[in-house]
């Protein structure tokens, strides 16, 4: 089976539809900056309505890192309700589990689930973005990965 890289830096299989197996993204390719914010939330699996967690470890307008010991699978749909940082407003969203942190690396802050928002009302997105201003990004857990292919491409283009 052959692999290709498409414009969004997703590794895709040669299977019909080219569904992404996983994302290969550098920190510089993130759409938004994550913020080191702990806030109250409830993230519930759509199937079985299982509670996955109740506290964020970091947050962005596109998703969150949830402290969680619950079992989940990549791509699993979830419902999210979270209180805005420094506020009393609650935001509702839907999302999917995008990452599972097993807590085995020295730099991990325990077990966690990364959730990417699928649906967030525009007013809630604006409220969340405004409430995140002023919070620092999380401290890097690992050294920055070098993008050798990108460097070679830049050298070849010049």
pLDDT of 136-151, one tens digit each? 666 555 555 677 788 8
Rounded-to-integer distance, Cα 158 and Cα 155, Å: 5
Residue 43 covered by a domain: yes
The answer to whether residue 13 sits within a structural domain is no
- Check residue 25 and give its pLDDT: 46
The pLDDT tens digits of the residues spanning 67-119 come to 998 999 999 999 999 998 888 889 999 999 998 887 656 655 678 999 999 99
Contacts of 52 (CB under 8 A, 6+ apart): 43, 44, 45, 66, 68, 70, 72, 78, 113
Predicted pLDDT of residue 33: 66
Residue 62 lies in domain = 39-110
State how far the alpha carbon of 57 is from the alpha carbons of 3, 60, 109, in Å: 34, 11, 9
Q: Give residue 117's pLDDT.
A: 94
2/10 Cα distance (integer angstroms): 14
Q: What total of structural domains would you count in the chain?
A: 1
In a domain, 63, yes or no: yes
Residue 90 counted as domain residue: yes
Are 89 and 153 a contacting pair, CB within 8 Å? no
Tokens of 137: 């990004």
Judge whether 20 lies within some domain: no
26-30 long-range contacts (CB < 8 A, ≥24 apart) are 26/145, 26/147, 26/150, 27/144, 27/145
Let me know if residue 117 belongs to a domain.
no
């Amino acid at each position: 089976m052959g692999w290709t890289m498409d414009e969004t830096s997703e590794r895709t299989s040669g299977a019909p539809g080219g569904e992404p197996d996983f994302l290969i993204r550098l920190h510089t390719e993130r759409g938004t900056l994550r913020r080191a914010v702990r806030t109250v939330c409830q993230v519930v699996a759509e199937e079985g309505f299982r509670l996955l967690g109740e506290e964020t470890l970091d947050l962005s307008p596109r998703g969150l890192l949830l402290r969680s010991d619950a079992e989940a699978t990549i791509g699993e749909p979830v419902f999210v309700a979270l209180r805005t940082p420094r506020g009393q407003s609650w935001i509702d969203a839907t999302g999917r589990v995008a990452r599972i942190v097993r807590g085995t690396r020295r730099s991990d802050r325990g077990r966690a689930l990364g959730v990417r928002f699928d649906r967030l009302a525009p007013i809630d997105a604006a409220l969340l973005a405004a409430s995140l201003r002023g919070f620092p990004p999380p401290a890097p857990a690992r050294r920055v990965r070098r993008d050798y292919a990108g460097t070679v491409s830049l050298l070849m283009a010049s």
